[in-house]
Structure 1
Amino acid sequence: MDSKNLSLLASFDELQKINKITTQSCLEEFLRFVTSQEECRLKWLDAVRETQRLKRLLDESKKENINLDMKLTTARKLLDQEKLKKQRAEEERNKIDLQLQMVRDLLFADNRNLIHDETKEKLKFLNSTTRSRMSNDYNDRLSAIQELDSTGSMLSDLSFSRSDDDLDLEAVLRKKRTYKKQRPSTDFDELPSVKRRRSQVIELNQDGVAERMVATTTVTMEHDGSISAQSQIETIPSAMNAPTAPTRCGSLESVESGLSIENNTGYNQGTPSNPGVLPVGSNKINMRNHLFATKTVIRPEDCDVCEKRIKFGNSVNRCQNCRASCHPGCKDSLPLPCIAPGNTPISKRNMGVIADYVPSISPKVPALVVHCIKEIEDRGLTETGIYRIPGSDKEVKALKEKFMRCRGVPRLTDIDIHVICGCMKDFLRNLKEPLVTHSLWWQFTRAAEVHSVEERRSKLHQAISQLPQPNRDTLAYVILHLLKVAESKEANQMPISSLATVLGP
């Protein structure tokens, strides 16, 4: 009986334990499990996303690598072409130097050639031409670049390898040299006995007299290697190149006609010529077109029209006169006229004289003055207080700095008209010497004090005729513009008296 009760008691205890286990809550443990699984899921998701991102970056890197390989191949090809052109140009230069040396030996070393002392004095430049070019040859080139002896095939990956491909296009433009293509002369070894006859026309301008010298040289080489030569030099005076007396302006209208006359002389702007023999009115200043040359971009630059980036390897149209650059599709929108910058080096800190900023052809007016006046006449003649209301100093300095870079024309259509006026005033005021030079200022002041109108006009014409051509052309261009501004005085409230107060010294 007792054992039976004990077994029942043990069974009861066992049942109580089981009941306690089955009825006890496990919610907290399950929540911790669920939270842990959620964290694992999020980490898994982040890992998948990171894998996808890295895969996209890998694909982009592969595409970029392909593009860089193509650009590198293009750069290699361009470099090989430039090296070939350079080699050909140097060969042509050496041949020309050899020919000049032969002429020099015939003229000066051979005592059989009787030449007058005056003619020898005029031909002294032949002795200095080659020496000066040889001494300055390497200074005018680009800085040295380590090159391979042969670039080999363009399909080879070893044709060219360099990590710092820093080709400065602006340096190329500043230091490039133009070589005139000539037919290579025949080697003397090919012809055992040959007679060569060469005529050279030399134009000199010494002591105000222009002459044409025609030098004819006949060189004969015999079979035994001996050389004989005969030279004949003729001096022909040229009346067309003789300097003319300074022309006085009979009236203000004659100055205007000189600045805007149509080109009826058939002068080709693309043909190099001496600017000094061009008539003043041979070019209509507002109708000068750009002379484009298509180049391949090596160093990315901005388009002067749309101001967008021109990327590496793309084509760019660059004006050979004003140095403006643009996309091929933007060249028709490049501002006119095309005014070449001055050739005189200018300090960035100090301004020069007006002659430092004018082109080499007439009329000699700076590009800054021409483009500012053109923009003012297009949309500013009726602006109230033109030239009197100042523009922002910061914007004026920024616009002037863009012009001073001597590369194209800034985009003026979006600039405030008073800023453009301020830019032109700041340029004229800060010149090292004003338009009316210091040496001639007293003549203008004395002429202004004369009471007789005819005598005053005569003295003013005489003083104006003594001004340098850049000062005279720029002064005439500015005065004609101010007359147009004064004609709109009812709209802009700027009569001649107000313009004199604002722009006068």
Structure 2
Amino acid sequence: MFSQEVWPENEKKCAVVRKSKQGRKRQELLAVALGVKVGVRGSLLWPPLKLFACSQISSLVRRAALTHNDNHFNYEKTHNFKVHTFRGPHWCEYCANFMWGLIAQGVRCSDCGLNVHKQCSKHVPNDCQPDLKRIKKVYCCDLTTLVKAHNMQRPMVVDMCIREIEARGLKSEGIYRVSGFTEHIEDVKMAFDRDGEKADISANIYPDINIITGALKLYFRDLPIPVITYDTYSKFIEAAKVSSADERLEAVHEVLMLLPPAHYETLRYLMIHLKKVTLNEKDNFMNAENLGIVFGPTLMRPPEDNTLTTLHDMRYQKLIVQILIENEDVLF
């Protein structure tokens, strides 16, 4: 329903729409998305919010889709096919024809176990449903694969660490900037890999909150595909280079819409958390710029492993994260 709603292109259309009950609902929906009141004579939208009128509806639609069913998160995922040698006769699960040959007869998805011909793999839809038994670890696992295997909205590492940090670490001086002991952070990583949601990261086991923040940052660094994906990296960098603040904000929002749903939701949740961190700046001395320096290289990495490119892009990485934190209520 929401996807068909568009902001009127001119004042004449606005007048017609406002006369109808359906048009009134569109106005109210947009007001909810933008956090403003409607129906007040002479009320004006703050220019940056007006700029995002249509795009905020897109964000609302995406959030509605993500939370449509609390028990099932239907993230699209491609199959992770690898060449496989089958023992005994096997049939392709896509075309139902026999797989001929003695070795390397076809491919198997390492995440869900689907067996198909190599040529058929090019036509299989992106409907991979990872089998939890095949997911050997939590860290270094593809983000979408992990959340689909556990049927969660976000990786449990993100949820559990942020919950712990917000409970006892928001006012900790230098939060996220100060590092915890590496061996203790590795212990947390092994606990998640071994126990998953049952991992104990409470203050009784890890009294230093910097160990938990370190474990969260390590999770993001270890992702095979960063939260801000390789496909969108260059687009985010270009958006950061836009000189006009309002146009830069709009460009960032447009690229956000290109992120895979699981990545988008994880980034949204993290930015809401980091905004809470900045609200305690008087105690923790961490503002959006400081957090941008910490999380820029953690959340986004260039597709090519080039030191010069990485160094050149660091200021833009920092700026992107800073923009996401400062404008999380508008961008998400």
> TM-score w.r.t. structure 2 length?
0.49
TM-score, length of structure 1 as denominator length: 0.33
Which of the two has higher C-alpha Rg?
1
- Identify the structure with the greater strand proportion: 1
Higher RCO (C-alpha under 8 Å, 6+ residues apart): 2
